Amino acid sequence: MEPAGEIQRWQAPGLALRLWPGWADDPGVQMSLLQQEIPWRQESITLFGRTHPLPRLTCWVADPGCSYRYSGLANEPQPWSEPLRQIREALAATLGWRFNSVLLNRYRDGADAMGWHADDEAELEPQAPIASLSLGATRSFRLRPRAPLAEGVRPISLELGHGDLLVMDPPTQQHWLHALPRRRRVSQERLNLTFRLIRAQAASG
């Protein structure tokens, strides 16, 4: 195994990011286990009366009782599998946060993508970071401020590769949006796991 790279940081008004290149211990094994065992689904969303399939496959895994809506969808959480449990414990060791849910996204190739949004749903604990683990094809991850914050604040573009861990610390979700644009030349698959902490009140409901 290659040693993990140095931690990199980005700081801007309303934004704090930390990136551990090559954080995952065994990303190839993790990726193939998740490809096989996760009950991936292509969800649809309805916008202005028209239904569109999401351009990616997803799965929502969470502790019992956690309720959460993402992309306007309220899904029953799937149970934690062993590989996901191990990643959750490794994140707790690195970050000091034990997450109670993870949204998995599977981008089958560069035609799959995620539009501009923030992970700012009311159910999420606003003091907790969001930890994003990437597996597979390298893709560009974009961030831009919601509103012009200050002179000279520029959008950010990161290349997220196999095994990289990106942590979006508070208050990033309040002030910045993020997206994963289409990349026509990418033919390989990518998985992304965003670990989140649902607030105790919402989790107990």
Ligand X SMILES: O=C(O)CCC(=O)C(=O)O
DSSP string for 91-137? HHHHHS---SEEEEEEE-STT--EEEE----TTB-TTS-EEEEEEES
**In the chain, what are the helix, strand and coil shares in percent, each to the nearest 5?**
15, 40, 45
The yes or no reply on residue 180 touching ligand X (CB under 6 A) is yes
Tell me which of 114, 128, 135, 165 binds ligand X, using CB under 6 A: 114
Pick out residues in 93-112 that bind ligand X (CB under 6 A).
103, 105
The yes or no reply on residue 66 touching ligand X (CB under 6 A) is no
**Rg, the chain, Cα only:** 16
The yes or no reply on residue 168 touching ligand X (CB under 6 A) is no
Question: Which one, of 107, 103, 99, lies nearest residue 140 by Cα?
Answer: 107
The yes or no reply on residue 132 touching ligand X (CB under 6 A) is yes
Tell me which of 119, 120, 121, 189 binds ligand X, using CB under 6 A: 119
Instruction: Point out the residue whose Cβ comes nearest to ligand X.
Output: 192
CB of 176 to ligand X, least distance (A): 12
State how far the Cα of 164 lies from the Cα of 53, in Å rounded to an integer. 28
CB of 22 to ligand X, least distance (A): 16
Q: Give contact residues for ligand X (rule: CB under 6 A).
A: 103, 105, 114, 119, 132, 141, 160, 178, 180, 192, 194
